[in-house]
Amino acid sequence: MSKVTALFLLLTFLFIGSSHAIEVIDEPALTTSLALHVTFSGKVSTPSEMKRIEINMSFPQSCETQRVTTDEKLAYDKLGNQILHIVKENPQNPFYYSASAYVETSSFNLYSLPENYALTDYERKFLEATPNIQSNSYEIQKLAEDITKACENDFEKIAKLAIWVNEHIEYDLSYGDKNYDALWVLNNRRGVCSEYTTLFAALARAIGVPVRYVGGYAYGRKGWEPHAYAEVFLGRWVPVDTLWLQVGYLDATHIKMSIGKDNQVEDNIEILGYNVKNVKWEKNEPVFDILKANYREREKDFELFASSSRLNPGDEFLVVWRYLPKQYGVAELRLEPCIGNAIEEIHEKERRVILEPGREAIAVWRLKINKNLKHGYLYTCPLTLNSNFFEFRILNITIDTARTFKKIGMKAEVLNTEVELGDEQVVSVDVSVPLGIRGKVGIIYGNQVKEVEVSKNEKLSFSFFPKLGENKVYIYTSTGDVVEIPFKVIENRDFSIKIEAPKFLKVNQDRKLKIFLTNNRETPLKINLTIIEDGEKTTKSLEVIKSEKIERDIRFSDTGDRIIKIILDGKGIKSTKLCRIRVYTKPEVDISLLQYDRDKKLAKFKILVSKDKALNISIKINGNLKTIEELEGEEVITFKGIEEVSPATLCYYDLGGERYCESIEVKSVKSMKSIIQRLLKIFHTFYELFIKRFVK
C-alpha cells in the first residue's frame, strides 16, 4: 500500500471518529450510505512447480453510487469492469494473496426519467440473448407481453416484471451454488438471487429493455453474502433487485463487483511452469469492516383509513392506503388483522404498489367482521400496517355487538362488463338512506378514490377510463357494506391488425412481412407502429384513414426460432402481436451400417441427421421400406429379410416442405461385436488350415 493511500485511510478513520467496525446493520433496506474496508484473500496451490502466476478477479467497481480507493493493480475487461490483477514471478507454492479497498457507497434514488432516448451500441449489447438468458424464447416473449400489456410506460413494465418474478419464484437456498438458465427457472420456479435475476433479465430483454447482470455482495439476514441483481436502461441505468424487490431504489449495502451479459463469472487464473496440473484455487469470503453507516427515516407522509370506522358483526369494509410518491419504486405493504376472531376474512394481506413521482398510489384491502361475535360488547380491533419503507401504523376499528346501526343500502352495477380500450366505463349506484341518517358512498378504481355525502335516496353515477385487461371496481358505504365488481377491457374492435409472415424461412432467404391495418371508424386514426426484430427497434407514425398495408423485408442468417414483435399505440389502441418464424437450413442425413447378419438376413443401421430437423424420412433397401416421422440427432433402425445392404434410396423433407431424394452407398460402422466375430472367423480358418492338420 502506498503512503498516499495509507494516509487517506488514516484520515478517514480520524474523520469517522472511531476505529471500531460496526458489527450489525439493523435495517439494510434503509441504509443510505456506508464507509467500509473490504479485504479479499485466497490461496493457490498445485503439485507442479510454478514459474509465474497471474490472477484476474472481480473487484469493487467505481460507479455512480460507489467510490473505491485502493493501491492494488487493476485492469479492465471488454465491458469496462475494473479487475483485480495480481502477477507474481516465481511465487511460493502454495501462493497466498491478499488485496483490499476502501469503499464508500450510497443508495440509488430515482426521481426522474428522460421521456425520449436512443440506444447506443453499448446498450444494445445488453439486449442480446445468451445461452443462459434466452430472451428470444417464445415462452419468455409471450409471458413478458402478457405481464406488461396493460402498462403505460417502461418503468411500470419493469416493475411489473420484477413483481411477477418475486411472487412466482420460490427462494431455495439449496440452489446457492448453481447458475441455472432463464427457461429452467421459469419451468422449475425456484432458486436464489441469481435465478431471480436471470429470469427477470430474460423477460425485460424480451420487451426490448437492455439489462445488465450485476454480481456482487449485499447485507442480508445472515450478514454479508454474495448477491446478484440487475440494471435496466431506461434512458439511464436503473437498478432492479427482484429478490428484495428494490426497483428504481437500491440500498447502500449493495456492493457492485461486476457487470455482465449473464450469470457467467469471469474470474480466471493462469500459471506458467512445467507440466502444470491439478491447480486448486481456494477463495476466502471477503471481509467487510463497516466503518460508518447512515440510514433514512421511514416514510410517514401517507394516509391509512377505513371505509367504515364503527361496525356491526357481519359488516364488510375496506382499508385504504394512499400516498403521493416523490420518487420511483415499489412499496411492499402487509396489513395484519387484530389478534383473535374479530376479523372473519381478509382478502390477501400483502400488496405490491408501483410508485411513480407525482402519481397517487393506492392499495386496498377488503375485510369482513365475524358475524358470530359475542353479543353485548364493544370491541376495538387494531389493524397494523407493516412495510419495507413506510412507518409502522395502527388503525383502530370499533365493533359494536350491543346495538345495531341503521345501514345505507346500495345496489351497484357497471354499464358494461366488457368495454373497449379507450371507452368510458360507468358505474351506477342506487342508494337508499334511512330517515335521519347521513353517510358516504365511495368508489375506488385504480389510483382513484371518490366519495359522495348522502342523506336521501338517490342514484349516483361514476365514470372513468379503465386499463386494458382484467379490472375491478370497489363501491362502499360508510355504514359497513362493500361491493366488488369485475369487468374486462378488450382491444378496440373498430381497429384491426392482420399479419402475414412465413412460418418457416430458409437461412439467407428473402421474404416479406406484411402488416394490414384496418380502421372502421369514421375519422382517421393516428398510431405509432413499432417493429422489434432481433433487438432492433423501428417506429413509424401513421395516419390510417381506412386501411394501410406495410411491407418489410425479412432475412435471417442463423437457424432457430425468431420472434418479431409488432406494437400498435394510439388513441384507444394498445396492441402487441408476436410473429414466430422458424429459420431452418437443409438437413444432412447419413446412413451407417452397425450390424449385418447374412444368415439371418438382419441388418441394423444408424441414421444421423445434422444441421437441422428432417421430416418424413424414408429409407428403402432391397425393396424393404422404413420411415421416420421426424429426426434431429440419431436413431437406430432394423431391417429384416434383406440380401444386400447397399445401395439405399433415401428421401426426406426439410422444415419448409422441400423434398430431397438420393441413392447412397451405406457405410459400415464396425462394432466391437462384429470385430470379435471377424477375428473368430479368421482364427477358425487358421485352425482348420494349420493347427488341426499339424496335430494330425
For residues 133 and 202, membership in a common domain is answered with yes
Which CATH number characterizes residue 200's domain? 3.10.620.30
- Write down the pLDDT at residue 11: 41
The rounded mean pLDDT for the chain is: 88
What DSSP assignment string belongs to 381-433?
EEEEEEESSB--EEEEEEEESSS-----EEEEEES-SEEETTSPEEEEEEEE-
How many structural domains comprise the chain? 6
Strands 425-432 and 458-464: antiparallel
Angle at 470 between CA 464 and CA 471, to 5 degrees: 35
Look at residue 677 and tell me whether its pLDDT is greater than 80.
no
SS3 35: strand
For residues 239 and 120, membership in a common domain is answered with yes
The rounded percent of the chain whose pLDDT value lies above 70 is 92
pLDDT single digits (tens) 469-483: 899 999 999 999 999
Which CATH number characterizes residue 531's domain? 2.60.40.10
For residues 215 and 275, membership in a common domain is answered with no
Q: How many CB atoms neighbour CB 448 within 10 A?
A: 12
Nearest to residue 583, comparing CAs of 563, 565, 566, 558?
A: 558
Distance CA 141, CA 138 (A): 5
Confidence band of 684 (pLDDT split at 50, 70, 90)? low
Look at residue 8 and tell me whether its pLDDT is greater than 60.
no
Element (H, E) at 240: strand 237-241
Which CATH number characterizes residue 621's domain? 2.60.40
Distance CA 433, CA 440 (A): 10
Q: Is residue 260 part of a domain?
A: no
For residues 239 and 116, membership in a common domain is answered with yes
Element (H, E) at 199: helix 193-206
Of the candidates 355, 375, 405, which is a domain's last residue?
405
Amino acid sitting at position 601: K
pLDDT single digits (tens) 504-556: 899 999 998 988 888 888 888 888 888 888 778 888 888 888 888 888 889 99
Q: Is residue 451 part of a domain?
A: yes
Q: Is residue 30 part of a domain?
A: yes
Q: Which of 258-272, 337-351, 462-476, 670-684 has the lowest mean pLDDT?
A: 670-684
Please tell me which of 45-49, 301-305, 634-638 the model is most confident about, judged by mean pLDDT. Answer: 301-305
For residues 401 and 411, membership in a common domain is answered with no
Of the candidates 443, 467, 490, which is a domain's last residue?
490
Q: Is residue 690 part of a domain?
A: no
Q: What values do phi and psi take at 544, rounded to 5?
A: -95, 115
Q: Is residue 680 part of a domain?
A: no
Say if residues 244 and 196 touch (Cβ distance below 8 Å): no
For residues 327 and 312, membership in a common domain is answered with yes
Look at residue 417 and tell me whether its pLDDT is greater than 70.
yes
Q: Is residue 371 part of a domain?
A: yes
Q: Is residue 226 part of a domain?
A: yes
For residues 276 and 331, membership in a common domain is answered with no
Strands 648-653 and 50-58: unpaired
Look at residue 692 and tell me whether its pLDDT is greater than 60.
no
Q: How many CB atoms neighbour CB 116 within 10 A?
A: 5
- Write down the pLDDT at residue 13: 40
For residues 534 and 632, membership in a common domain is answered with no
Say if residues 586 and 654 touch (Cβ distance below 8 Å): yes
Look at residue 672 and tell me whether its pLDDT is greater than 60.
no
Q: Is residue 486 part of a domain?
A: yes
- Write down the pLDDT at residue 103: 96
Which residue reads 445461452 in cell numbers? 131
Grid coordinates representing 65 are 453510487
Distance CA 377, CA 400 (A): 6
For residues 186 and 239, membership in a common domain is answered with yes
Confidence band of 456 (pLDDT split at 50, 70, 90)? very high
Nearest to residue 631, comparing CAs of 663, 647, 655, 649?
A: 655
Q: How many residues does the chain have?
A: 696
Distance CA 421, CA 466 (A): 7
Q: Which of 44-58, 427-441, 475-489, 586-600 has the lowest mean pLDDT?
A: 586-600
CB within 8 Å of 432: residues ≥ 6 apart = 408, 409, 410, 457
Q: What is the mean pLDDT of residues 175-193?
A: 90
pLDDT single digits (tens) 16-70: 444 456 778 989 999 999 999 999 999 999 988 889 999 999 999 999 999 999 9
Three-class HEC string of 630-693: EEEEEEEEEEECCCCCCCEEEEEECCCCCEEEEEECCEECCCHHHHHHHHHHHHHHHHHHHHHH
Q: How many CB atoms neighbour CB 671 within 10 A?
A: 13
Q: What is the largest CA-CA distance in the chain?
A: 133
Confidence band of 6 (pLDDT split at 50, 70, 90)? very low
The rounded percent of the chain whose pLDDT value lies above 90 is 55
Angle at 444 between CA 441 and CA 450, to 5 degrees: 55
Confidence band of 690 (pLDDT split at 50, 70, 90)? low
Confidence band of 369 (pLDDT split at 50, 70, 90)? very high
CB within 8 Å of 580: residues ≥ 6 apart = 138, 503, 561, 562, 563
For residues 598 and 566, membership in a common domain is answered with no
Q: How many CB atoms neighbour CB 15 within 10 A?
A: 10
Pick the residue with more confidence: 649 or 244?
Answer: 244
- DSSP 8-class letter at 359: B
Say if residues 339 and 455 touch (Cβ distance below 8 Å): no
Confidence band of 107 (pLDDT split at 50, 70, 90)? very high
Look at residue 4 and tell me whether its pLDDT is greater than 50.
no
Pick the residue with more confidence: 21 or 117?
Answer: 117
State which residues form the domain around 178: 110-244
Grid coordinates representing 680 are 473368430
Say if residues 593 and 602 touch (Cβ distance below 8 Å): no
Amino acid sitting at position 511: R
For residues 400 and 411, membership in a common domain is answered with no
Look at residue 255 and tell me whether its pLDDT is greater than 60.
yes
- Write down the pLDDT at residue 21: 62
Confidence band of 416 (pLDDT split at 50, 70, 90)? confident
In Å, how far from its chain's centre is CA 507? Answer: 30
Strands 602-621 and 588-597: antiparallel
For residues 59 and 158, membership in a common domain is answered with no
Q: What is the mean pLDDT of residues 214-239?
A: 94
Nearest to residue 612, comparing CAs of 660, 654, 581, 579?
A: 654
Nearest to residue 569, comparing CAs of 538, 535, 539?
A: 539
Confidence band of 689 (pLDDT split at 50, 70, 90)? low
Say if residues 616 and 587 touch (Cβ distance below 8 Å): no
Look at residue 408 and tell me whether its pLDDT is greater than 60.
yes
